Amino acid sequence: MTASRIGFIGLGNVGGSLAGNLQKHGVDLTVRDLNDELVARFVARGAKRADSPRAMAEQVDIIITCLPSPAATASVMEGPDGILAGLSAGKIWLEMSTTDEAEVKRLAPLVEARGATAMDCPVSGGCHRAATGNIAIFAGGTRAAFERVLPVLSILGCQILHTGPLGSASVLKVMTNYLCTVHLVALAEALTTMKVVGMDMNTVYEAIRISSGNSFVHETESQVILNGSRDISFTMDLVIKDVGLFDQVAREHHVPLELSPLVLGIFRDGARRYGPRELSPNIIRRLEDACQVRVLGSGFPAQMTDDNPKQPGYEVVPRGRSQAPA
């Protein structure tokens, strides 16, 4: 399967990193994006260009979408020259966007009606890990489909979890993004309070890192916060979308959440103040402005990079099981 022709639509921050990792591994790659400059960079390195989603689907064996919203995916899939029009028996559609479970399930029968297979395969771990292939991937779909695409997923990522039926991966992905956002808001409060108290911010960073207060979000996003760039290649509108999807899942199942609505309100206020395309770690600006401080350290990177070599991709089997769900 790794020798298959692969098409990739959506060359933004995450998608571009994933597609770039495929290209580094010599995959027969065809790309498409509304931004022709992004496409041109891949073409200059040997990728092929697709004139439309339909043309791409006709030309490749596996087509991957990594797009900013469920509406964008629907447009690419169902448009007059969309992916569905080009699918045929034996082909596979991998939805790697952070999307709505219901939307994946709505589109899947349309894919299957063409004799193709649908899976939702969102990623988690940040653009820096997507670029090296050390990112985590959730994969929802049948066991048979998962085993067919595992060689490709092993190029794209390091830890690969088969989550169960189609749609399950999307649910888990929005849950993890919700948790990231809660951690980010809590870190903004903790870092700003320590700044106002007068603590050295480099010492604060290390105190959190070596303590029970540590998290993946701290080890990544706190660094770009303290650098001042605030650049984690993720924006407030995407946070609102993702946390909104998680909140929707909870409401549909009558779970009386308390933190999720608060977090959504904080980021909606941040987007009103600083713009929806403001970098998400700059949610700390709400507190910096209120306290008239700048929360900065020294020696922290402007962007996160993964200095580790590509780790071999492998399936993560849930604890207590000999194999992931069918």
111 within 8 A of 118, measured Cβ to Cβ: yes
Q: Show which residues are catalytic.
A: 173
pLDDT single digits (tens) 248-295: 999 999 999 999 999 999 999 999 999 999 999 999 999 999 999 999
Which pLDDT score, from 0 to 100, does residue 50 have? 97
pLDDT single digits (tens) 22-46: 999 999 999 999 999 999 999 999 9
Mean per-residue pLDDT over the chain, rounded: 95
Q: How many CB atoms are closer than 10 A to CB 235?
A: 19
Question: Tokens at residue 81, please?
Answer: 């020259």
Question: Tokens at residue 18, please?
Answer: 């994933």
- Beta carbons within 8 Å of 145's beta carbon, 6+ residues apart: 92, 117, 119
Query: Is pLDDT above 60 for 324?
Result: no
pLDDT single digits (tens) 126-163: 999 999 999 999 999 999 999 999 999 999 999 999 99
Q: How many CB atoms are closer than 10 A to CB 244?
A: 17
- Beta-bridged to residue 138, according to DSSP, are 161
Helix (H, G, I), strand (E, B) or coil at 245: helix
Give the relative orientation of helices 168-197 and 201-209 as an angle to the nearest 10 degrees.
140
pLDDT single digits (tens) 40-82: 999 999 999 999 999 999 999 999 999 999 999 999 999 999 9
pLDDT > 90: what percent of the chain? 93
pLDDT > 70: what percent of the chain? 98
197 within 8 A of 174, measured Cβ to Cβ: no
pTM for this entry:
0.93
Q: What is the DSSP letter of 235?
A: B
Which pLDDT score, from 0 to 100, does residue 4 have? 87
Query: Is pLDDT above 60 for 2?
Result: no
